[in-house]
Chains A and B, each alone.
Chain A
Amino acid sequence: MNYLWYTAITILIAFLLFVVLFFRKSESPRKKLLLYYLLSVALPLVIPYRWVEKILFDYLAGLPSALFISLVLILIEWALLFFLIVRVHKKAIDAPEEQFFLFLLLGLGFGMGKALRDTLLVYFHSLSVFYGYSQFANFPSFFYLLQKIMEAQIEVISAGLLGLAFLSPAGYTFQHLVSYSLLSFIPKGLITIAQVLIQFVPSLFFLASVYLVSLLPLTLIIGAGLLWYLYRRRLYQIIEEDETSPHEENLKEEA
């Protein structure tokens, strides 16, 4: 039971920290934020897309199939994140910064939901010690929680990158959506490919020992850097668009 409490407390602390860091001066009601957060936590728990993996593995085997199945799972996760972001984007908050932080909050909730699901599967499976088919679902330890927190942060980056497509006063365009979606695949894709390769290519088994200490943090740092750079770039674009649009209107009026 302890591990459920640890995970529940971690999920709550993550939310509180996030709100304190990014929504301190915001006027958005905290209740609404908590609701969005809980919705994003609940989604990976409710939708049994992990079973899709089990069913597909019953019919497909080998490295190419494992890569294909992982791609399917990433696509489902992308669709869930997209759904969340569209839902929240419709109930628009005006300030683009706040919108962006809200997308990050959704990513955090989504990642925490996945962590909670894995914890439930690993520790509350009737056999508990092993859940089985994923070597990344192993023993209860500090490392397990650390791994889950880091993987949740990868979701934050993905949600942020996907959310950038929606950050435009003129609304999002199809090109934006495609390019930022592809970008949002990169951190998740890299981690997933690493997991599959470690599991299916014996000569890469050694990477399992560096997964937590180098692969995950490296992806996190590069992903966070990329997100920060693109976010700043997008903000400048928004400011430029805001500055040019009244001028253009004036020109039209004069004409």
Chain B
Amino acid sequence: MRKFFSGNKSLSAIAGVAIFLINFMTISSLQAKETFSYKIMVQEKEIGKMIYEVEEENNFLQIKSFIKLAEEEMERDAQLTILRDTYEPLRSQKWVKLPGGEIVIETIYEERKAQIKITSPEGAKEATVSLPSPVFDSEEIPYLIGKPPCEKEKVISVLVPISGMVWRGKIQKIAQSEEEETFRFTLGGEITYLRYQKEKPRLVELQAPQRGYNLVLEGHSQEENN
């Protein structure tokens, strides 16, 4: 043992470990943050803005969305933590403002089940829902669709936490050009059209005809921190 820790060999081994550790620590603390700003359009008029912040840390992605309507203040909309490689959700939170007060829906994903907690002015309710695998959170849909490979058609399971139910989501690629591709996504009887930038999948436009609004990409910024 003493022999091992003496001489050039041991020195280079220690140096190697040190370099590996420094590299590993540098990589693990690398953070990238992207911000997407969308115009909310209703009947071709802008009624507000939707901001998505996507932060990358280690193997996770944290997606935060904010909503700003007309002259009201910016309000938080949802927050999600998903796995970077598989896009499977780990945790989601959604804030819904209603005349009677604010409702917070929090979902924690575990192996084949999810714990949903709804907090409203009337109190809190909790439930455990069984899940198929893989399953995605309804809040990550705008971020998710253009990411996994989809040649023509793909079916995914989507948990809509507010309803406590798993729905069948269907993704269909309906058009593509050199720069962009358009998908038709159906969930719970509703149709949404999503147009993505192809090179680095990024949502350019979302059309929700049955909800009566469109989201149009207005600006994008990216920052990287060590």
Spell out A's residues near B (CB within 8 Å): 54, 57-63, 65-66, 69, 125-133, 139, 199-203, 205
Quote the shortest CB–CB distance from A254 to chain B (angstroms).
Answer: 67
User: Does B160 count as interface, using CB distance less than 8 angstroms?
Assistant: yes
Contacting pair A125 B186 (CB below 8 A):
no
User: Does B8 count as interface, using CB distance less than 8 angstroms?
Assistant: no
Q: Is the interface of B mostly helix, strand, loop or mixed?
A: strand
Which one of B118, B168, B190, B211 lies within 8 Å of A59 (CB-CB)? B168
**Using Cβ atoms and an 8 Å threshold, which residues of chain B touch A201?**
210
**Using Cβ atoms and an 8 Å threshold, which residues of chain B touch A54?**
165
Which one of B118, B127, B189 lies within 8 Å of A65 (CB-CB)? B189
Query: Known contacts A57-B189, A69-B189; is A203 also within 8 Å of B163 by CB?
Result: no
Q: A59, A125, A127, A203: which has the most chain B beta carbons within 10 Å?
A: A127
**Using Cβ atoms and an 8 Å threshold, which residues of chain B touch A131?**
163
**Using Cβ atoms and an 8 Å threshold, which residues of chain A touch B127?**
126-127
**Using Cβ atoms and an 8 Å threshold, which residues of chain A touch B149?**
none
Spell out B's residues near A (CB within 8 Å): 100, 103, 116, 118, 120, 122, 125-127, 160, 162-165, 167-168, 170, 186-191, 209-213
Whole-angstrom CA separation of A69 from B190 in the bound complex: 13
Whole-angstrom CA separation of A230 from B163 in the bound complex: 43
**Using Cβ atoms and an 8 Å threshold, which residues of chain A touch B125?**
126-129
Whole-angstrom CA separation of A62 from B213 in the bound complex: 15
Chain B residue nearest to A58 (CB atoms) is: B168
Whole-angstrom CA separation of A13 from B120 in the bound complex: 32
Contacting pair B118 A205 (CB below 8 A):
no
Quote the shortest CB–CB distance from A140 to chain B (angstroms).
Answer: 9
**Using Cβ atoms and an 8 Å threshold, which residues of chain A touch B167?**
57-58
**Using Cβ atoms and an 8 Å threshold, which residues of chain A touch B126?**
126
**Using Cβ atoms and an 8 Å threshold, which residues of chain A touch B211?**
202
Contacting pair A202 B189 (CB below 8 A):
no
Whole-angstrom CA separation of A66 from B187 in the bound complex: 12
Contacting pair B160 A127 (CB below 8 A):
no
Q: Which 5 A-B pairs have the closest CB atoms?
A: A202-B212, A132-B163, A126-B127, A61-B186, A58-B168
Whole-angstrom CA separation of A60 from B118 in the bound complex: 29
Whole-angstrom CA separation of A65 from B168 in the bound complex: 16
Contacting pair A132 B189 (CB below 8 A):
no
Quote the shortest CB–CB distance from B121 to chain A (angstroms).
Answer: 10
Whole-angstrom CA separation of A82 from B213 in the bound complex: 42
Besides A130-B118, A132-B164, A203-B212, 18 more A-B contacts (Cβ < 8 Å) are: A57-B167, A58-B167, A60-B189, A61-B189, A61-B190, A62-B189, A127-B162, A127-B163, A129-B122, A130-B163, A131-B163, A132-B160, A132-B163, A132-B165, A200-B189, A201-B210, A202-B211, A202-B213
